[in-house]
Amino acid sequence: MTVTRADERAGGASPETETEATSGLPRLTQILGTVVAPTTLLTAVSYYFGWMFSYWFFDYFGVNSTLLGLTTTDYLMRSVDGLFVPMTVLACLGLVALWCHRFLRDRLATEPPTRLPRLLVPALAAVGLVLVTAGLASVFAETFLDRYLAAAPMSLAVGALTLRYALDLRRPAAAGTEWSRVAEWAAVFTLVGVCLFWAATDYSGAVGRTRARQLAAELPTHPDVVLYSERSLNLRVPGVREVECVGEDAAYGFRYEGLKLVLHSADQYLFLPGRWTPADGVAVLLPRTDSLRVEFARAGAARPPAC
């Protein structure tokens, strides 16, 4: 059956035309689905962003996160904080873009050409070109976009998608072979994916350091830790007091007050002084052994002066 231009304007583009116009993306999605399982990809992405979040979180306290023996579960749990906002924003922007595309497609298909539709394609192309140029410039040199969180990668990603969309509006639906459209979508998908990784990496690092600053400010309200040790640990840390336990029947010879427990992982304790500051704060990493005993109390609770 032949579909005339008048029929397309009256009833919209035919299903065959829409299939030809977008066949590259579904084909690419099918290929990717056979290579990488969605669950595997999601787990790998979550692990990566959890690692980035943890690295910058503990780096704020001067601790290398690779020494803490964090597990895969630890990284996956921490990735939620670093990915929640980017995924929410991305989903909202995707919905807005789809709604705008549907509105524009219906209007172009049902109304006679006007000055606005004729200017729309070059305007979109110009905006996309400016965004791509600004984003690419930030890859090779420092630009004004680097002053804002994730502005450079998002500029490059949005610019590439805008150019691709303007091209779809400009050229005939059946232009090019199926595999050429697949290759084109693959290039766009790769570029946008790299940019999203770039943006989420910056965001995860920023969230990690923000959460670390919040923890440092809230440390005085966290439960107090009293650490008993058979031998002196020589903890010369500001805000930590060492008390020698006297008595022949004392199982532990020394007691340390003023500590806060931050993490227990891989049979290790990570302590911070209750008055930790970036200027003189010290982090204490101790192995979990039988020579140590850890007691907890509410913040500010009274303790006996001796062991």
Written as six digits, the tokens of 226 are: 């009293």
Structural domain including 243 reads 222-297
Is there a single domain that holds both residue 188 and residue 238?
no
Is there a single domain that holds both residue 56 and residue 112?
yes
Helix and strand numbers (H, E) in the chain are 8, 6
Is there a single domain that holds both residue 197 and residue 250?
no
257: exposed, middle or buried (C-beta count within 10 Å: 0-12, 13-18, 19+)? Answer: middle
Is there a single domain that holds both residue 41 and residue 150?
yes
What pTM value is reported for the model? 0.74
**Residue 249: what pLDDT?**
73
Is there a single domain that holds both residue 79 and residue 195?
yes
Average pLDDT over residues 221-225: 93
Contacts of 277 (CB under 8 A, 6+ apart): 216
Q: Per-residue pLDDT for 22 more than 50? A: no
Where among 217, 250, 269 does a domain terminate? 217
Residues of the chain with pLDDT > 90: what percent?
A: 35
**Residue 10: what pLDDT?**
42
Q: How confident is the model at residue 31 (pLDDT cuts 50, 70, 90)?
A: low
What's the one-letter identity of residue 260?
K
Is there a single domain that holds both residue 170 and residue 105?
yes
Average pLDDT over residues 293-301: 89
**307 lies in a domain?**
no
- Determine the straight-line distance between the first and last CA of the chain, rounded to whole angstroms: 94
**27 lies in a domain?**
yes
Tell me the C-alpha distance between 207 and 156, whole Å.
22
**306 lies in a domain?**
no
Is there a single domain that holds both residue 40 and residue 136?
yes
Q: Report residue 109: phi and psi, to 5°.
A: -80, -25
Tell me the C-alpha distance between 304 and 116, whole Å.
80
**Residue 115: what pLDDT?**
54
Is there a single domain that holds both residue 245 and residue 290?
yes
Say which residue, 224 or 91, is predicted with more confidence.
Answer: 224
Tell me the C-alpha distance between 269 and 23, whole Å.
55
**144 lies in a domain?**
yes
Where among 217, 240, 275 does a domain terminate? 217
* Count of the separate structural domains present in the chain: 2
Is there a single domain that holds both residue 142 and residue 205?
yes
Is there a single domain that holds both residue 190 and residue 252?
no
**Residue 50: what pLDDT?**
92
Q: In this predicted model, what pLDDT tens digit does every residue of 148-201 receive, in sequence order? A: 888 999 999 999 988 888 887 776 554 556 677 777 778 888 888 888 888 888
Is there a single domain that holds both residue 204 and residue 232?
no
**176 lies in a domain?**
yes
Q: In this predicted model, what pLDDT tens digit does every residue of 98-155 receive, in sequence order? A: 888 787 777 666 655 555 566 777 888 899 999 999 999 998 988 898 888 889 999 9
**142 lies in a domain?**
yes
Are 276 and 284 a contacting pair, CB within 8 Å?
Answer: no
Where among 186, 217, 248 does a domain terminate? 217
Average pLDDT, the chain: 81
Is there a single domain that holds both residue 196 and residue 264?
no
Beta strand pairing status for 268-273 and 224-229?
unpaired
Q: How confident is the model at residue 27 (pLDDT cuts 50, 70, 90)?
A: low
Are 240 and 259 a contacting pair, CB within 8 Å?
Answer: yes
**Residue 26: what pLDDT?**
61
**102 lies in a domain?**
yes
Which of the 8 DSSP states describes residue 231? S
Q: Which of 220, 229, 222 is nearest to 307 (CA)?
A: 229
**305 lies in a domain?**
no
